[in-house]
Amino acid sequence: MAELTLEEANQLDEDAFVDRFGSVYETSPWVAERSRSAQPFSSVGDLQETFEATVEEASEERTRELLKAHPDLGEQTEMTDASEQEQASAGLDQLTPEQYEAFQRLNDRYQGKFGFPFIMSVNDESPETIRSAMEERVEHTTDEEFRTALDEVHEIARLRLDDMVED
């Protein structure tokens, strides 16, 4: 169930807007800060498209920082509530020791190659599906994977906004 209506979201002042939507793009409140000026939004889709455009218009350095803000999948460290729930929906909070070690090896390999964590919208995926995607994507070129990771970040944000705001 959504936390607020689109009408309520459109009425939020700058501080409240950033407070409410600053974590949609993993610990990157600058996305909400820069997007707020487009109020009022005509739909949740419009809000999401505005956030996405804000990210796409940012510098590569800023975008890379956004990617680096995401936690490693299967990692058992502190993360945002949203990331924790998303990873739990995929069973990543209940990995066997063998699965955990495999994810750690893949995370290290991926991070070493691309300089940011493996990012995938994992809601309701299985650990096996995620691991398979990691094994495939670690073979991508840097440009290919930067784009893929960014597309996944946008999908994660879309799902989070759908949970937060009702049209």
Active site amino acids: 70
| Whether residue 71 has a cis bond before it, omega within 30° of 0 | no
Tokens 């995607």 sit on residue: 133
Beta strands in 95-144 (DSSP E): none
CA distance 73 to 100: 10
- The residue among 83, 68, 135 whose CA lies nearest residue 105 is 135
CA distance 58 to 32: 13
Find out whether 27 and 21 touch, Cβ atoms under 8 Å: no
Tokens 């996405």 sit on residue: 52
CA distance 20 to 47: 13
